[in-house]
Amino acid sequence: MIKLRPLALASALALSLAAGPLAPALAQPAPAAAEAEWPGLPPGAAEEYAVMRDGTRLAANVFRPAGRGPWPVILSRTPYLKDGRRTEQNPNPAEGLAKQAKRYTDAGYVYVLQDVRGKGRSQGFYAAFENDIEDGYDTVEWAAAQPWSNGKVGMTGGSALGITANSAAMANPPHLVAAYVVVAPADRLSYSYPGGVLKEKDTIGWLRQQGTSEEQLDRVRQRAFDDVSWNRVAMTANRKYIDIPIFNVGGWYDIFNGGTVDNFQWLQNHGAPGARGNQKLLMGPFGHGQLSGDLEYPGNDRIGLAGDQEIRWFDHWLKGIDNGIMDEPPVSYFMMAAAKKGALSPKNRMVAAANWPPAHREVRYYLAEGRALTTRAPTDAEEKVSYRFDPGRPVETFGGANLTFERGPMDQRAVGQRQDYLRFQTPVLAKDVAIAGPVKMELWAATDGPDTDFVVKLVDVYPDGYEALVLDAPVRTRFRAGRMPGEVRMMTPGAPEKLEIDLWPTALTFEKGHRIAVHVTSSNAPRFEVNPNTGEAPGAAKLKPRVAVNTVYLDATRPSAIVLPVVYPDDVK
């Protein structure tokens, strides 16, 4: 079993995800931190300034190894303050930062931790991730030219720091050699508004707590459309410029689960020559913070590989050490299984693979009459089930890939029995069903109005009835054909259409004695914004919300099914 190590991550991603072209509205002028508020430099750090192409000076802590250089450099760029912030919970941030730096200096690297533009001791205006392509390039080249540097630079970091690393890599600076990126998205649009539905709690709620005005929040609510502002800094649009090896680390319950996998998959198979074939992927059983609920996987509170794994990566690429890391399989993923606290199944384990996704076959599990879930395609000429979706009484959120509140495989029995919450499940499994790969839902549905939402959950039902959430995702029907303005179209009342919902990838063994379940509803609050069913433009909210009658179809011509990537039994023994 690969051991995992903690990697502390700040939880301010909601701001960064919502910003986009809102940068002028959300930008914060930030001169160097006032001396009275500044906690001071961590032990062993020297503060140095890099000058960007527009003259803005960005502050960095530079930690050097013992002895004489020059050395290779490992760089992190953070919006969370290079010197930390004193709080009641963390009265001495310098201690943790110095310990973090020591890992790299002990391994023979200069470690550079820089405040991004407009944060901490750096000059300029903070506009989340809008300047990190250019600033990342300039900082890498600055670090490479310093007397303590041998000209080889690697970047490392998780969450926002992972995004800044990817941003710099998209700029393709000549002296950036490799990166180690933990939990980062592929596309901020699709991860802020999955299926066209705003992640309410993790964006609006967090921004409001930070004092963001209601006017600015209204602008955030209007950002579900695809436009050039999103794509200027998106990995999906610009990763073709990345020409370096990247070690990608993610978690099955992380808010950027799909992005970590997608970035690896594209760069490994389609990337530029320096990237293609040189990527690594590790997916573990964790979220963007401690998991909630009654399941407990090994290392589920950890994000990142053991320190030697990261150092081995940089030793190979920055020092030219033949340590065998590139002879190992490119993909390692955790195959989750039954994991009730105190009763961990031995089928929980790490699996190595040559690529992602591993070999699998798509198996459709059809929603069927009597709330059944079966691999037999329906034969009835007409079968459907309808419910009333009242925006004033949304289904409550229990778990999922959340950032700022409870997350992970929580028990969906807490939702209760509701007429607007449809549970479909298999009989008790007579043998294991293992899946590894992308999961999607093909939902035939209709509504009696112009627009509504559908939410689908994949659930592992334990023998005692515990309904462990595996994946969940929504779709706003107006965005069923795409997010470009010309692709948006209202529903025809009462007319069924096929809706495809991306639930992201996972790896899980539904064990013998469990059931596979699919839950269908139209809300999941406060995880997702509640649709008023009026057909108004996002963020308008001028009309009174209406109760929608939504229908799910289960018949031969309109078969609703979840598509599971089933792997062969020999792959999971």
Give me the CATH number covering residue 295.
3.40.50.1820
192 or 87, which is more confident: 192
Measure Cα distances from 67 to 41, 74, 109 in Å: 21, 17, 11
Q: What is the pLDDT of residue 315?
A: 98
Range with the poorest average pLDDT among 24-33, 122-131, 173-182, 499-508: 24-33
85 or 9, which is more confident: 85
Of 512, 494, 505, the residue nearest 470 (C-alpha): 505
pLDDT digits (tens, 9 = 90+) for 551-570: 999 999 999 999 999 997 55
> What is the spatial distance between Cα 76 and Cα 115, in angstroms, rounded to a whole number?
9
Residue 156, pLDDT above cutoff 70:
yes
Tokens 């992308």 -> residue = 438
Judge if 518 and 543 occupy the same domain.
yes
Q: What is the pLDDT of residue 24?
A: 34
Residue 502 forms part of a structural domain = yes
Residue 7 forms part of a structural domain = no
Q: What is the pLDDT of residue 539?
A: 81
Of 385, 335, 550, the residue nearest 454 (C-alpha): 550
Rounded to an integer, the average pLDDT of 286-297 is 94
> What is the spatial distance between Cα 418 and Cα 523, in angstroms, rounded to a whole number?
12
Judge if 58 and 148 occupy the same domain.
yes
Q: Which of the listed residues 310, 334, 353 is the one where a domain comes to its end?
A: 353
State the average pLDDT for the chain. 90
> What is the spatial distance between Cα 132 and Cα 157, in angstroms, rounded to a whole number?
14
Please tell me the pTM assigned to this model: 0.92
Q: Which helix (H) or strand (E) covers residue 102, if one does?
A: helix 93-106
Judge if 150 and 199 occupy the same domain.
yes
Structure tokens at 466: 């515990």
* CA 74 to mean position of chain CA atoms: 24
Q: At 130, phi and psi to the nearest 5? A: -75, -25
* CA 180 to mean position of chain CA atoms: 16
Judge if 260 and 171 occupy the same domain.
yes
Give me the CATH number covering residue 442.
2.60.120.260
Rounded to an integer, the average pLDDT of 169-183 is 97
Structure tokens at 537: 């433009």
Of 338, 363, 342, the residue nearest 511 (C-alpha): 338
Cross-strand partners of 455: 474, 521
Identify whether the C-beta of residue 508 lies closer than 8 Å to the C-beta of residue 495: no
**DSSP 8-state secondary structure symbol assigned to residue 418:** -
Indicate the pLDDT class of residue 464, thresholds 50, 70 and 90: very high
**DSSP 8-state secondary structure symbol assigned to residue 378:** P
Structure tokens at 165: 């690393």
Judge if 216 and 340 occupy the same domain.
yes
pLDDT digits (tens, 9 = 90+) for 246-285: 999 999 999 999 999 999 999 999 999 999 999 999 999 9
> What is the spatial distance between Cα 135 and Cα 78, in angstroms, rounded to a whole number?
12
> What is the spatial distance between Cα 441 and Cα 480, in angstroms, rounded to a whole number?
13
Q: What is the pLDDT of residue 146?
A: 98
Indicate the pLDDT class of residue 54, thresholds 50, 70 and 90: very high
Residue 263 forms part of a structural domain = yes
Q: What is the pLDDT of residue 471?
A: 98
Residue 6 forms part of a structural domain = no
Structure tokens at 235: 């990995």
Structural domain of residue 402, as residue ranges?
361-571
Cross-strand partners of 168: none
- Amino acid residing at 98: A
Q: What is the pLDDT of residue 540?
A: 81
> What is the spatial distance between Cα 191 and Cα 187, in angstroms, rounded to a whole number?
6
Q: What is the pLDDT of residue 87?
A: 79
Judge if 140 and 288 occupy the same domain.
yes
Judge if 134 and 58 occupy the same domain.
yes
Q: Which helix (H) or strand (E) covers residue 469, if one does?
A: strand 467-476
Of 330, 354, 355, 242, the residue nearest 279 (C-alpha): 330
Judge if 154 and 207 occupy the same domain.
yes
**DSSP 8-state secondary structure symbol assigned to residue 239:** G
Residue 467, pLDDT above cutoff 80:
yes
Of 511, 475, 509, 515, the residue nearest 491 (C-alpha): 475
458-456-293 Cα angle (round to 5): 50
Judge if 387 and 492 occupy the same domain.
yes
Q: How many helices, marked H, and strands, marked E, lie in the chain?
A: 13, 25
Residue 5 forms part of a structural domain = no
Range with the poorest average pLDDT among 202-206, 386-390, 415-419, 477-481: 202-206
Of 465, 495, 499, the residue nearest 481 (C-alpha): 499
- Indicate the SS3 state at residue 4: strand
**DSSP 8-state secondary structure symbol assigned to residue 448:** S
Q: Which of the listed residues 328, 353, 378 is the one where a domain comes to its end?
A: 353
Q: What is the pLDDT of residue 36?
A: 52
Residues 6+ apart with CB under 8 A from 433: 509, 510, 516, 564, 566
Q: What is the pLDDT of residue 6?
A: 37
End-to-end CA distance of the chain: 15
Residue 3, pLDDT above cutoff 70:
no
Q: What is the pLDDT of residue 16?
A: 41
The domain tally of the chain equals 2
pLDDT digits (tens, 9 = 90+) for 384-443: 999 999 999 999 999 999 999 999 999 999 999 999 999 999 999 999 999 999 999 999
Residue 391 burial by Cβ neighbours in a 10 Å radius (0-12, 13-18, 19+): buried
DSSP 161-203: HHHHHHHHHHH--TTEEEEEEES--S-HHHHHSGGG---HIII
Rounded to an integer, the average pLDDT of 336-359 is 96
Q: Which of the listed residues 353, 375, 394 is the one where a domain comes to its end?
A: 353
Residues 6+ apart with CB under 8 A from 48: 59, 60, 62, 146
Q: What is the pLDDT of residue 213?
A: 81
Measure Cα distances from 264 to 137, 245, 275 in Å: 21, 10, 10
Indicate the pLDDT class of residue 462, thresholds 50, 70 and 90: very high
> What is the spatial distance between Cα 432 and Cα 452, in angstroms, rounded to a whole number?
36
Q: What is the pLDDT of residue 32?
A: 53
Residue 30, pLDDT above cutoff 80:
no
Structure tokens at 157: 């970091």
Judge if 121 and 202 occupy the same domain.
yes
Rounded to an integer, the average pLDDT of 159-184 is 97
Identify whether the C-beta of residue 314 lies closer than 8 Å to the C-beta of residue 109: yes
Beta strands 71-78 and 110-115 are parallel
Q: What is the pLDDT of residue 40?
A: 86
Residue 159 forms part of a structural domain = yes
pLDDT digits (tens, 9 = 90+) for 292-345: 999 999 864 444 444 579 999 999 999 999 999 999 999 999 999 999 999 999
Residue 201 forms part of a structural domain = yes
Judge if 473 and 337 occupy the same domain.
no
Judge if 173 and 212 occupy the same domain.
yes
Of 173, 216, 53, 172, the residue nearest 124 (C-alpha): 53
Residue 1 forms part of a structural domain = no
